[in-house]
A and B are shown apart, each in its own frame.
Chain A
């Protein structure tokens, strides 16, 4: 008991509390509709009927957890993989552009950071624009990106990836500027005594020193990239992707479907951040970080 409980106890307690609160909230939010329907049947009804009714509606205001899980399980295992009714199919579509956008965003973010660290002009001139770019709501830009790139003949994958890139280069730039400047003065002096070229200082000192900063930024960036991909699917009338699934759900009032798509999106986020963490640990081992 003791040790196992200490490990899972707090988590289990939180989950249980959350579920209880959720069921309670579902009763409160769905009760008016259920009450109306029960009244319409013209028979007397009691509290148990009301409560059970709020947890079994077809289009509840707030679906109960088991409804979401059942819908989730059905749309993952109950449908053919290439069917538009399968959530894994939509998750894959979103994942593709998330990863493409992430790679582009990291490359852009690192390139900007290298420029900012090496060129005083860029430090002064570029950084304010980079920060300003992030104050524009992504929802305002996304439709324009989709329309412009679409009219240039690019597939939706590319325009969604560009939106992801727009969201995720920023944390990478900020983190990498700090990381590339993290070597201590002696480590930099050493390079100077060797008359090392700037590219050598970058490759052999600044980039390795920036690795912890890169991974911290990458975890933020990949989550932002996923959001970018989903947002990119909303205004396009896309037929596939988690964003499209969310939009369809809201058109038809299919709240259970919306919530199970949300569940898939958050699972995808957890997996992606976890994957970055794994790469981080592997890199740290290779770089001899003290365990």
Chain B
């Protein structure tokens, strides 16, 4: 389909205030952000900085209360209804009564993909995340890292051009997380999707993204947007020991500190 907007996400003076029982809570304040097609952007910040909320606003799982936001050139609600994005949650959120293949086929069933095509497309996505041979397993038979890979395959199954990931590896051990980071980077290189990635790991953000959006709490806002000069192509985990990588990580850390995020 023709899509005139070159931007995956465009937010201007975006704000969100939650009405709680006692006082209103400002979750997002004056957020200005543009994410280009094909970019890999990370949101980083301490708990309560609104990074997950911002992602959920993009996904139309929350609604902003001020400012404006466009996703693929249309409102988040329209983007959601046109199934513009795949979303990966903090937990795998697999349906325990479906086998691995059935879980990946779920979005295809809902979106009315012909029954004959579903299994093939789901198998293809499972192969992309390195899970051939596990199609017939139930989720509980898989490790946490494998479950999260299934949920990534599920998000990719209907081939959205935008992938929204909310701390997808937060609950995994470091070794598994490193491995999945590398796989995700390769996946992004191959598929040229736009990825918006929420994390609170500096190393993860610098390793994965082209731009790092540093956020700060009370009220949730963007402190700084840092460009990552490291070339993504062929980047391996060893790059994290390089001087350039350390320098970028240092800048991110400085920005987080500037946001008084550890008060």
Q: List residues of chain B with CB within 8 A of the CB of A194.
A: 83, 106-107, 110-111
- Tell me the count of chain B residues lying within 8 A, CB to CB, of chain A: 26
B99 touches A204 (CB 8 A): no
Q: Which of A35-43, A166-174, A185-193, A251-259 contacts B (4 or more CB under 8 A)?
A: A185-193
B window 69-100: CB within 8 A of A: 80-81, 83, 85-87, 89-91, 93, 95-99
Contact assessment for A195 and B93 in the assembled complex, using a CB-CB cutoff below 8 Å: no
- A191-220 contact mask (Cβ, 8 Å, vs B): 1 or 0: 111111000100011001001000000000
A195 touches B96 (CB 8 A): no
Please, which residue of chain A has its CB at the minimum distance from the CB of B85? A193
Chain A contributes a number of interface residues (CB within 8 A of B) equal to 20
Interface residues of B in 95-147 (CB under 8 A from A): 95-99, 106-107, 109-111, 138-140
B97–A186 CB distance below 8 A = no
Instruction: Considering the complex, give the chain B residue whose CB is closest to the CB of A183.
Output: B95
Distance from B98 Cβ to chain A, minimum over Cβ atoms (Å): 8
Is B87 in contact with A204, judged by CB distance below 8 angstroms?
Answer: no
CA distance A289 to B98 in the complex (A): 10
* Contact between A204 and B140, CB atoms less than 8 A apart: no
- Across the interface, do A187 and B61 meet the contact criterion of CB distance under 8 Å? no
Name the one of B60, B90, B99, B107 contacting A288, with C-beta atoms under 8 angstroms.
B99
**Which single member of A186, A204, A288 contacts B138 (CB below 8 Å)?**
A288
| Contact flags B213-240 to A (C-beta < 8 A → 1, else 0) | 0000000000000000000000000000
A290 in contact (CB, < 8 A): yes
Min C-beta distance of B99 to chain A, whole Å: 7
- Report whether A190 and B89 are in contact in the complex, using a CB–CB cutoff of 8 Å: yes
B195 lies within 8 A of chain A by Cβ: no
Contacts of B81 in A (CB 8 A): 195
Chain A residues whose C-beta falls within 8 Å of the C-beta of B96 in the assembled complex: 287-289
Smallest CB separation, B114 vs chain A (Å) = 16
Q: Give Cα A211–Cα B111 distance, bound, in whole angstroms.
A: 25
Q: Are A187 and B95 in contact (CB under 8 A)?
A: yes
Q: A189-B61, A290-B140 are in contact. Are A208 and B95 (CB under 8 A)?
A: yes
Inter-chain contacts of B99 with A (CB < 8 A): 288
Distance, CA A287 to CA B99, complexed state (A): 9
Residue of A nearest to B137 (CB): A288
What residue in chain B is nearest A286 (Cβ atoms)?
A: B97
Q: State the Cβ distance, A290 to closest chain B Cβ, in Å.
A: 5
CA distance A235 to B31 in the complex (A): 73
Residue A193 contacts which of B61, B95, B98, B109 (CB distance < 8 angstroms)? Answer: B61
What is the interface of chain B, defined by CB distance below 8 A to chain A? 59-61, 80-81, 83, 85-87, 89-91, 93, 95-99, 106-107, 109-111, 138-140
17 contacts between A and B (CB under 8 A): A184-B93, A186-B90, A187-B93, A189-B89, A190-B89, A190-B93, A192-B60, A194-B110, A200-B110, A204-B106, A204-B109, A204-B110, A288-B97, A288-B98, A288-B99, A288-B139, A289-B97
Seed contacts A187-B93, A187-B95, A194-B111; 13 additional CB < 8 Å A-B pairs: A184-B93, A186-B90, A189-B93, A192-B61, A192-B80, A193-B61, A193-B80, A204-B110, A205-B95, A208-B97, A288-B97, A288-B99, A289-B96
Residues of A within 8 A of B (CB): 184, 186-187, 189-196, 200, 204-205, 208, 211, 287-290
